[in-house]
């Protein structure tokens, strides 16, 4: 059984700069994940678990196997992680939006299986947790701990380049046309709500660690992340969690639906907040999202344990403010954290209602989503899970980099307003995108 050693000491610099410094020096895959005031940096591949539509691939040390799976993908992932010869493991990774097509209760009837990897998890060789002014390191190698300690105690280095302007108003006519079509289909009774998105392509490679640091200091996310996994990379400031499960089996999801701009001055922000709380379209969009979340939670929680807290509160997330509610319960005895993720995936605020019909509309009217509106997560041997919804992010793969944002379309949606909403959301990431410095890239 592989075991970790542990070390803790005072943190010399603030946690954001320290975490970004670790990411910048990483030579292998890594995930940086922030939640509840703690930054977790997971680096190196002690073990990997990868899933596509037919098979699950596991590797730990010199042992590797490939198996076909059937039934519940979450159960297959749970079993694969449980079989790892690692004591006290934590796994980090990504779940692409296409994972929804593996779920029997939402996948589109007659649709071809999605292609490519849909889940990629690493159990790290080294895990660093930065909390306030303390740092703790778990690693299987003394040399890795020594290297991390040296990096965290070295003098801080400041970035020598800045963000550039990005035109986020591209493709307006095409997006408005898709919204018009969705409103028509909703009024015909095909579905109640769908999230349609648009991408903004960037003409340069992005310095993701620098972008993350600048953007995180300007944003107020529910979660944030920076990752490089199997050739794909992203940095983002998630406005909501898809689902959390703690070690006491308490489950929570927080649907955000209903949006107005934020950060335009106290008077304008207050006026927008009042409008958000009184606009019938925004209230309806939020209410149906909460109702859907309650129904999903009841499928995996103990009877009578599901409740709604903070109904229609306000959450300020960077350049926008949202209506927010908290739906919580207690996981049923025969359920796991993976069952909880399956029940609420994809997030209702990033797909639509009903989910199967909204997925069909997305497949017809949106370009393939990849990681966008999927999840970045961490999961523990203890059964705890924390999964962030992937929005407000910059994505990079191969020679391409892009931003992406969407809006929730209902029967009363106005195409011009929905386009403006995508611009407001892009304002949480676009002003902080830093090109790769040719000298470092």
**Catalytic residues, which ones?**
240
Structure tokens at 327: 């739906």
Query: CA 283 → CA 90, 287, 348, distances in Å?
Result: 39, 6, 15
DSSP class of residue 114?
P
186-215 residues labelled b (16+ CB within 10 A) or e (exposed):
beeeebbbbbbbbbbebeebbbbbbbbbbb
Q: Residue 20: helix, strand or coil by DSSP? A: helix
Please, is 409 exposed, middle or buried when counting C-beta atoms within 10 Å of its C-beta (0-12, 13-18, 19+)? buried
Q: What CA–CA distance (Å, rounded) separates 441 from 428?
A: 25
Strand-pairing partners, residue 389, are: 375
DSSP class of residue 331?
B
Structure tokens at 207: 């310095």
Please, is 287 exposed, middle or buried when counting C-beta atoms within 10 Å of its C-beta (0-12, 13-18, 19+)? middle
Closest residue by Cα to residue 353 from 418, 298, 285: 285
Closest residue by Cα to residue 100 from 379, 360, 377: 360
């Amino acid at each position: 059984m592989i075991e970790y050693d542990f070390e803790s000491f005072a943190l010399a610099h603030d946690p954001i700069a320290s975490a970004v410094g670790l990411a910048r020096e990483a030579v292998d895959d890594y995930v940086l994940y922030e939640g509840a005031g703690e930054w977790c940096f997971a680096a190196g591949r002690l073990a990997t678990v990868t899933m596509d539509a037919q098979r699950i691939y596991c590797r730990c040390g010199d042992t590797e196997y490939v198996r076909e799976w059937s039934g519940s993908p979450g159960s297959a992932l749970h079993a694969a992680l449980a079989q790892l010869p690692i004591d006290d493991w934590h796994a980090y990774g990504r779940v692409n939006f296409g994972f929804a097509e593996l779920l029997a209760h939402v996948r589109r009837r007659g649709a071809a299986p999605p292609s490519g990897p849909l889940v990629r998890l690493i159990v790290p060789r080294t895990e660093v947790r930065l909390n306030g002014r303390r740092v703790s390191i778990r690693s299987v190698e003394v040399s890795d701990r020594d290297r991390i300690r040296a990096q965290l105690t070295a003098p801080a280095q400041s970035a020598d380049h800045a963000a550039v302007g990005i035109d986020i108003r591209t493709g307006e006519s095409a997006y408005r046309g898709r919204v018009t079509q969705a409103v028509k289909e909703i009024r015909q009774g095909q579905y109640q709500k769908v999230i349609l998105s648009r991408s903004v392509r960037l003409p340069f490679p992005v310095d993701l660690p620098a972008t993350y640091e600048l953007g995180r200091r300007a944003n107020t996310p529910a979660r944030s992340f920076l990752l490089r996994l199997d050739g794909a990379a992203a940095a983002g400031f998630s406005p909501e969690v898809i689902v959390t499960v703690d070690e006491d089996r308490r489950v929570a999801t927080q649907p955000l639906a209903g949006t107005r701009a934020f950060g335009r001055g106290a008077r304008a922000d207050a006026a927008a907040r009042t409008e958000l709380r009184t606009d019938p379209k925004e209230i309806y969009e939020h209410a149906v999202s909460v109702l859907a979340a309650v129904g999903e939670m009841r499928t995996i929680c103990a009877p009578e344990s599901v409740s709604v807290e903070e109904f229609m509160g306000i959450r300020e997330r960077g350049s926008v403010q949202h209506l927010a509610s908290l739906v919580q319960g207690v996981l049923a005895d025969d359920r796991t954290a993976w069952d909880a993720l399956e029940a609420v995936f994809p997030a209702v605020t990033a797909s639509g209602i009903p989910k199967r019909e909204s997925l069909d509309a997305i497949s017809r009217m949106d370009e393939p989503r990849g990681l966008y509106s999927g999840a970045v997560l961490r999961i523990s041997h203890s059964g705890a899970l924390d999964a962030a919804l992937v929005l407000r992010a910059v994505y990079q793969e191969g020679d391409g980099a892009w931003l992406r944002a969407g809006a929730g379309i209902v029967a009363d949606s106005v195409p011009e307003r929905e386009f403006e909403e995508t611009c407001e959301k892009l304002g949480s990431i676009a002003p902080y995108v830093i090109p790769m410095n040719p000298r470092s890239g």
